[in-house]
Amino acid sequence: MTARARVLVVDDEAAILRFLKPALEANSYEMSSTDTVADAIKRIAAETPDIVLLDLGLADGDGKDVIRRVREWSDVPIIVLSAREREAEKIDSLDLGADDYVNKPFNVGELMARMRAALRHRLQRKAETPLLCVGDLEVDSVRHRVTRGGAELKLTPKEFDLLSFLARHAGRVVTHRQILAAVWGPAHTEDTQYLRVYIGQLRQKIEDKPDDPRVVLTEPGIGYRVREM
């Protein structure tokens, strides 16, 4: 992350903008803002911000249209900020390509942590590093080898693919559909029960307490998130 990463906030609530500006500046971000779908798309194309904070309820349309359009040509991290609590809204936003979803009202510390995770994930994608680390877990995508505290874990090929995909998105929530499409293929995007079985098997091998997981966390009704440690 650069010393002054540029953040575009897309929100039509003046109170949110007043609240966010000092918080972002205190954390070494440079903030600009807009309040419409149309201008957001233009600004992202012209200004190439490092990260976008996006409200879904905008004056001229739905913020999901920003995600849909921008993902046609940009991988800029997008974190949705919204008071909409329906799981379907979160799932739709994430499936369209949002990096994360934070409910309003939100804690500044949590938002900053989600932003750092999204920025790190973008850098990891660009670096394409073969070794992914989550706490004392190391996932070697070249050797197809997983170790924990130096000891090798015995995972099946599909368990390895699942853990590798989750580790590449560490700190981000990924939906059931995203995981199933990436690991099992597009024909299996509705097989959520199948995914739960594999998550359970994986937790048995990588968690100290599989019934109280600390690495692979459940986002109820949405998907999973690997905790950054």
Per-residue pLDDT tens digits for 135-176: 888 888 767 889 988 899 999 989 999 998 998 888 888 999
Helix (H, G, I), strand (E, B) or coil at 8: strand
The pLDDT value recorded for residue 133 is: 81
pLDDT at 70: 93
Which is nearest to 75 in space by CA: 25, 125, 36? 125
Quick one: pLDDT at residue 129? 60
Whether pLDDT at 96 is above 90: yes
3-state secondary structure of 17: helix
For the chain, give every domain's residue range.
5-128, 132-226
Q: Which residue type does 162 have?
A: L
Class of domain 132-226: mainly alpha
* 3-class DSSP state of 58: strand
Model confidence over 103-141: pLDDT tens digits? Answer: 888 889 999 999 998 888 777 666 556 677 888 888 887
pTM tops 0.85, yes or no:
no
Longest dimension (CA), the chain: 55
Q: In this predicted model, what pLDDT tens digit does every residue of 27-37 receive, in sequence order? A: 989 999 999 99
Residues in the chain: 229
Which whole-number Å values give the CA distances from 172 to 15, 98, 104, 118, 152, in the listed order? Answer: 27, 10, 18, 7, 25
Q: What's the rounded Cα separation, in Å, for the pair 176 and 223?
A: 5
pLDDT tens digit sequence for 41-90: 999 988 889 999 999 989 899 999 999 999 988 889 999 998 766 788 88
Q: Give all strands of the β-sheet with 29-34 in edge-to-edge order.
A: 29-34, 5-10, 51-54, 78-82, 100-103
User: 109 burial class (0-12, 13-18, 19+ CB within 10 angstroms)?
Assistant: exposed
pLDDT at 135 (0 to 100): 80
pLDDT value for 1: 40
pLDDT value of position 125:
64
Fold of 5-128: Rossmann fold (3.40.50)
> Which pLDDT does position 2 carry in this prediction?
42
